[in-house]
Structures are given as C-alpha cells and as structure tokens.
Amino acid sequence: MRMYFDSYDTPAGVVGVLATDDGIREVGWGLRPGDAGTEPHELVQAALGQLREYFAGQRRDFDLPVDLAPLEPSTRAVLAAMRTIGYGETITYGELARRSGTGLPARAVGSIMGANPVPLVIPCHRVVAADGLGGYSGGEPGRGLATKVWLLELEGALPPTLL
C-alpha cells in the first residue's frame, strides 16, 4: 500500500499528515514520514489546506476521506460518533459512549480517543470529562492539555484564559 506524507507548522505545533490512496490514515504532532513518500499528493495537500483554514478560523469541519480500515468496528463507531460533535461544542466521555451505540463504558471510549489516529479531523479535543477538561494525547510532547485548551479557545468552546 502506497503512503504519502507532508507536514504543516500550525500555531499549536508541527502537525504531520499521512495518507493512503483511500484517505487520511494519520494526523498528529511529531508524526514522521517513515517509509511514506514525501512527493506531493493531492489528498495530503487538501488536508494541509483544510488545516490551514481551520487554524485561521475559516473552517469549522473537515471534508476529507479518512482511512480507518485497520481499526476494530467498535473503535470506528466511536470515531464516527466523534465526527458528529460540532465546532465549538463539547460533550462528555459518557455522552460520546452513548452516541457511539457500542455499549462501551466512558473509560473505554477515553482509551479509544487517546488512540485516535486523526485528531483535529476527528475532533477528540471536543470531548471533556464530566468534572473538567479530561485529558488530551495530541499536541507536542508535554503540551497535550495546553493544546486542548488552545483548540477549544480557538473554537469558542472555552473563554480565553487569563494569563
């Protein structure tokens, strides 16, 4: 299977995009090309363009094919439910568990989110704990929660912090 890669230096750190001919396979901070080709590919370039628009406040959702083929059906169901969370909206892990229809408990949903291969495109940053922000595995190393706060502020889901 042919893989393609490129990256973009966002206001929240460098984000890489890895794609197959079928769709976006991975999006993430610290993502490297590995064995993927780095020649221009239209799907990767479309993803980078949509990321630029998102970080500029001009895009509210992503219109990209996602290649989740190697994932378990319950994982795909949780990720599909996550795609229904609107820009600027937050829901709890428990609500996401209910929306997914998988019967999985909130803790299991949290584990699936931590392994989300396409954060931002599938907006796991919009899922919060019942008593606070919860965690976030995205962002540059050691900056996960700060990145989640920044993304939620960008979307207007949190008021800007006073620092």
Catalytic residues: 124
- CA 152 to chain CA centroid, Å, is 12
3-class state of residue 9 by DSSP: strand
Could you count the other beta carbons within 10 Å of the beta carbon of residue 70?
A: 9
Q: What is the DSSP letter of 27?
A: E
3-class state of residue 127 by DSSP: strand
In 3D space, the residue among 82, 159, 87 whose CA is nearest the CA of residue 127 turns out to be 82
